[in-house]
Amino acid sequence: MFQSRHVLRFLAQTRPLLVRPLISCPARTLFSKDYLDVMNFQQNQDKTRATFAHPNRLREFRQDLPQQPLLLGEDVVRYIQTTAHPEEVNDAAQLIKRFMMANKEWCQDPQLPHATTFRWLHGRIMREFLNLCHVFQDVDAASDMWNDGEVVDDVFLFQDDQTLSSNVPTVVMTLGDLLFKNRRYTELFEVLDRVKVGKDSVVQSFVTLDIAACYKMNTPESLMRASGVINRHRHFTNRTKSGLVYALLTYQQGHVRLALEEACLMRQATLTSNVKIFLLTELGRLDWAMDVLASHFPSPTDAPVGLPQSPRFSKEVIAKLAAAVNAANDAVLSQRLVRLFTDLDNVAEVSTWTLEEMLLSPIAPSKINQIPSNNKKVAKSRFAAKPMAR
């Protein structure tokens, strides 16, 4: 927590940051393992290995299966799930290619029986293999499989109505996550351009990958691409982190005012306020920036609410605001900021994460915050217990 009693010293020691670029965070994945299918895959790995009562049986299975004349889909899945070492990933890839080529004819003509069965099975096997690559962080094996035209082509990717086949969205997200972490942004764009999207939940995940990669590239060309993506999906990007990442890309490319306009279109939330405070400070609109900060502090007249979540602000943002106020040499602004920092101690959290780290933190499945069942009464808000200093 940032302590207000240190505010004056903090202001005195902080240099102006008005032209400082955003602090870049290390490469990381965009989605958590449970958001993807990776965590479930690892659990299935343990279950599958447990079905072999003795290690010798598992060893025999893996040695004998590639020699079998008839491969079943479940054989291939079990082989993938029992792959325990990075050097065995290529063996799994070769087995998959053999199975795919042996059954590709079933998918060529939608009039053939079981065509959709093998499309679905293809998607499942690809999903399992991409999960395996994610576990071992083997981006090359994942990329090689995706780019093998004999294994992955439009016959497998799309249904007859040109919507994505089952499991393909998960495959794309897992592959895209690996490419993003390894900074292979151009290749990620090629993957996204190859597929078509259907449901909004799928679209949002693809847009997240697209905009984040554009941001990390940080070029005029990537800004143009991101603008096109945002314009096509404006109906939901104003409610997701993608819109804020796009705003910061716009800022990084020197369009500060346009970046602020984008941020002002976003749904009101603490993360949005972090971006707005950062950009308002950059533009010298310090009173407005402090208004945004103060909006997260409850007034004495606010009704109590149940178990509120403390707003979180990036130390990078708070430091930038403090440096700007210090540089302004305005006693009124300084006094107001001291009062705001006192309130910040009481109701909010200042994170050591940079603004970029907050925006590109791994996305986890949404969870509804609920009061425990043994406490059904509405909890009294700790915000309402103490009036906000003015």
One digit per residue, the tens of pLDDT, for the chain of length 390 reads: 334 444 444 444 444 333 345 655 555 678 888 888 899 999 999 999 999 878 899 999 999 999 988 889 999 999 999 999 999 999 999 999 999 888 777 666 666 666 777 878 888 999 999 999 999 999 999 999 999 987 887 666 776 666 777 788 899 999 999 999 999 999 999 999 988 655 556 778 899 999 999 999 999 999 999 999 999 888 888 888 899 999 999 999 999 999 999 999 998 889 999 999 999 999 999 999 999 999 988 765 554 444 456 788 999 999 999 999 999 999 999 999 999 988 888 888 888 899 999 999 888 876 433 223 333 332 233 222 333 333
Q: Which of 213, 155, 158, 216 is nearest to 187 (CA)?
A: 213
State the Cα–Cα distance between residues 298 and 386, nearest whole angstrom.
9
Residue 101: the pLDDT is 84
State the Cα–Cα distance between residues 242 and 212, nearest whole angstrom.
7
Q: Which of 363, 390, 360 is nearest to 25 (CA)?
A: 360
Residue 27: the pLDDT is 59
Residue 150: the pLDDT is 79
The H or E element containing residue 313 is strand 312-314
Q: Name 351's bridge partners.
A: 314
234 and 245 in contact (C-beta within 8 Å)? no
186 and 218 in contact (C-beta within 8 Å)? no
321 and 290 in contact (C-beta within 8 Å)? yes
Q: For residue 13, which phi and psi values (nearest 5 degrees)? A: -90, -15
Residue 25: the pLDDT is 57
State the Cα–Cα distance between residues 156 and 153, nearest whole angstrom.
6
Residue 207: the pLDDT is 92
State the Cα–Cα distance between residues 155 and 315, nearest whole angstrom.
50
Decide: residue 211, CB within 10 A, 0-12 exposed, 13-18 middle, 19+ buried. Answer: buried
> Tokens 């972490």 identify what position?
181
Report helix, strand or coil for 276: helix
- C-alpha to C-alpha distances, 30 to 146, 172, 190, 192, 230, nearest whole angstrom: 20, 13, 18, 15, 18
145 and 131 in contact (C-beta within 8 Å)? no
Residue 274: the pLDDT is 95
